[in-house]
Amino acid sequence: MNQKKRKVLGIIFLAAAFAVTTGFAIQGHVRAARYRHLLDNGYQHAFAELATAAGELDVSLQKVTYATSPTLFSVLCAQTYAKAMAAQAALGELPYGNIELEQTASFLAKTGDYVLALASGVEGGQVYSQEHRETLQALSQSASQLAQLLQGLQSDLEGGTLEPEELAQVQARLAAAGQEGEQVEAGSAFQDMEADFPEVPSLIYDGPFSEHLSNRTPRMLEGLPQVDEATAKEAAASFLGLRSDIFTLTSTGEGALPAYGFTALVDGGELYIEVTKQGGQVLQLLSSRRVGEPTLTRKEGYEAAAEFLASRGFQDMDPSYAIDQGGLLTIHFAARQDGVYCYPDLVKVQVALDTGDVVGFEAHGYLMNHGSRELAAPAVSADEAAGQVGDSLTILSSQLALIPTGGEYEVLCHEFKCQNESGGHVLVYVNAQTGQQQKILLLLEDESGTLVI
C-alpha cells in the first residue's frame, strides 16, 4: 500500500474513532458535516486538476502529430511526456484514483513512456516513421475522448448531480475484497466511465509497454517443460531448505510469468514464494517475520547473499548497490559476462541482519533476460568515451556495462562513476559503439545505503 492510500485509510480510522468516542450527537453531526464538506472540496479540486491535465495532454498530442521537423518533433514529444506526467500526478492526488480509474492510470503511463521513447529516438538520429505518426494520432483521439469524459464527470461533480462515494463505504469494500481475494474496486462513481474508456492503440516500440513484449518468452525458461503443482512445491521447498509439506498453494497467477504461489509459516512469520509454471524456477520470495536487532555487518550480509545465490546455481553474479532498512539489507546482483556487467540480468536478495537468513528474493529480470550473449567489441575506447563526461564531474572509476533500454534491446556502454562539485556521485553511460551519452543516473547515498535514480 502506498503512502497516499495509507494516508486516506488513516483519515478513515480517525474519523471512525471520533464517531465512537463522541458523546454529543449534535456536535458530532456538525463536525462530520464540516469534515465531509472539506473532503468533497478536496476531491473535486483533485478531479478538476485531472480533467485539466487530460485536456492539456490531448492538445499536446495533437501538436506532435503535425510536426515534420525532427527537432520540433522531439521537443513536442518531450512536452507531451511532461503533460502525461502532470496528469499522473493529478490522478495521484485523487483518493483511490489509481484503483477507481485504473484504465486512465494505465493510459497515462503508456502514453508518457511512448512519447519519451520517440523523443529519445529522434535525438539519437533515428527517423520517426509513418507508423509512429499514426499511433500518435490514435493516442490523440483516445486522449480527446478521455478528456471529454472527465470534463463531463467534473461538471456533474460541481453541479451536485454526482457525489463521490463515502470513504467509509470504500474502505469497507476494500477490506471485504482483500479478505475474499477478489480484485479490488473502490467506489462506483467512475465505473461507468471506465466501462466506456476509449480504445487505446497497440504500441510497438522499444519500451516496457510495447505490445510485442506481452508475449515475449523469458530467455531462462526457453525449452523448459511445464511443471505441475507438486513439482513446483518441491522446487520451493528445495530452494529454501524446508519440507514441502509445510507449503500451501494460495495462488496460480498468469501474466508474463505464470507462477504457482505458496505460503508457509516459518520462524514466527509467513513465507510467500512463487515458482514459475514453466521450468519450475523461483520467481520471488517474501517473508513477514519480524527482524530483530542486527548482529551482522553489512559486509557479512553481502557475503550471505552471495553464498545463497552461488549455492542455488546463480554463477558469476556481482553486487552493485544496496540499502539497509530496519535491519533488512537489500542487495542488487547482476551477471557478469566477459568482464561486462549485465544490468538486465538483475536479481534482488534481501538478508535479515539479525540471523543472516535470506528473507526476500526477486529474479524477474534474470529469468527474462539472462543467457549467453554475443557481445560486440567496443568501437569506442574508454579514454575516448571519457571525453563525453562533463567537465564538472570527476571520473572515479569505469567499467563496461550492458544496460536495458526499457524494451527488448540492450546497449553496451562505458559506465563512469563520477563525483560532482558538491561531493555527490553520478553514473554516466556512454554508448560504446556511437560514443554518445546514453543515460545518466544519480546516486542518493546516506547511512542506510544507496539508491539509484
User: CA 386 → CA 1, 78, 173, 382, 435, distances in Å?
Assistant: 42, 27, 57, 6, 9
- Do 193 and 275 sit in the same domain of this protein? no
Burial class (CB in 10 A: 0-12, 13-18, 19+), 118: buried
186: phi then psi, degrees, rounded to nearest 5:
-115, 95
Residue 219 in domain: no
Largest CA distance in the chain: 79
Query: Could you tell me if residue 220 is inside a domain?
Result: no
Q: What are phi and psi of 444, to 5 degrees?
A: -100, 110
Same domain, 99 and 205: yes
- What is the arithmetic mean of pLDDT over 48-67? 87
Q: Which has the higher per-residue pLDDT, 141 or 230?
A: 230
Q: Quick check: 261 pLDDT over 90?
A: yes
Higher pLDDT, 202 or 150: 150
Q: Please check whether residues 395 and 318 belong to one and the same domain.
A: no
Range with lowest mean pLDDT among 8-17, 57-66, 252-261, 262-271: 8-17
Q: Mark whether 31 and 150 lie in a shared domain.
A: yes
Residue 172 belongs to a domain:
yes
Q: Are 136 and 200 in contact (CB under 8 A)?
A: no
Q: Collect all residues with Cβ–Cβ distance below 8 Å to 206 and sequence separation of at least 6.
A: 117, 121, 405, 406, 407, 408, 409
Could you tell me what percent of the chain has a pLDDT over 70?
73
374 inside domain: no
Select the more confidently predicted residue: 115 or 187.
115
- Return the closest-CA partner of residue 356 out of 334, 332, 327: 327
- Whether residue 377 lies inside any domain: the answer is no
Residues 325, 391 within the same domain: no
Q: Is the dihedral of CA 180, 185, 189, 191 positive or negative?
A: negative
Least confident range from 24-33, 256-265, 361-370: namely 24-33
| Residues 352 and 254 reside in one and the same domain | yes
pLDDT digits (tens, 9 = 90+) for 307-342: 999 999 999 999 988 989 889 999 999 999 999 999
Residue 116 carries which side chain, given as an amino acid letter? L
- For residue 49, the SS3 value is helix
- Residues 189, 58, single domain; the answer is yes
Q: Closest Cα partner for 18 from 36, 40, 43?
A: 36
CATH number reported for the structural domain that contains residue 400 in this entry: 3.10.450
Indicate if the pLDDT at residue 423 is higher than 80.
Answer: yes
Query: At residue 248, what is the residue type?
Result: T
Mean pLDDT check: name the lowest of 67-76, 319-328, 342-351. Answer: 67-76
What distances in angstroms separate CA 138 from CA 53, 86, 106, 202, 409, one per listed residue? 18, 21, 16, 9, 25
Residue of higher predicted confidence among 75 and 206: 75
Which one of 213, 248, 265 terminates a domain?
Answer: 213
What is the number of structural domains in the chain? 3
Confidence tier at 224 by pLDDT (50, 70, 90): very high
Residue 191 domain-assigned?
Answer: yes
Residues 293 and 115: their CA atoms lie apart, in Å, by: 47
Does residue 375 sit within a domain?
Answer: no
> How many helices and strands in the chain, by DSSP H and E?
12, 13
Q: How confident is the model at residue 41 (pLDDT cuts 50, 70, 90)?
A: low
Record the cell numbers describing residue 233, joined without a space.
Answer: 512445491
Kindly tell me if the per-residue pLDDT of 430 is higher than 80. yes
Residues 52 and 105 in one domain: yes
Which residues, 6 or more positions from 39, have their beta carbon under 8 angstroms from its beta carbon?
167
Show which of 156, 186, 213 is a domain's final residue: 213
SS3 content of the chain, % helix, strand, coil (to 5): 45, 25, 30
Are 248 and 200 within 8 A, CB to CB?
Answer: no
The C-alpha cell at 143 is: 486522449
pLDDT tier at 125 (50, 70, 90 boundaries)? Answer: very low
Of 197 and 390, the structure prediction assigns the larger pLDDT to 390
Mean pLDDT of the chain: 79
Predicted local distance difference test score (pLDDT) of residue 190: 58
- Do 61 and 170 lie in one domain? The reply is yes
Residues 209 and 241 in one domain: no
DSSP helix/strand/coil, 198: coil
Q: Are residues 112 and 241 in the same domain?
A: no
Picking from 141, 150, 170, the residue whose alpha carbon sits closest to that of residue 50 is 150
List Cα–Cα distances, 108 to 7, 39, 73, 101, 205, in angstroms.
Answer: 23, 25, 20, 11, 16
Q: Say if 260 falls within a structural domain.
A: yes
- Looking up cell 519480524 gives 290
State which of 369, 390, 425 marks the end of a domain: 369
pLDDT digits (tens, 9 = 90+) for 180-221: 444 444 444 556 666 666 676 666 655 555 555 556 778 999
Domain holding 400, by residue range, is 382-452
Output the pLDDT for position 112. 87
CA–CA separation, 111 and 207 (whole Å): 11
* pLDDT exceeds cutoff 80 at 21: no
On whether both 171 and 272 belong to a single domain, the answer is no
The answer on pLDDT for 39 being more than 80 is no
User: Of the candidates 186, 178, 167, 210, which has an alpha carbon nearest to the alpha carbon of residue 98?
Assistant: 186
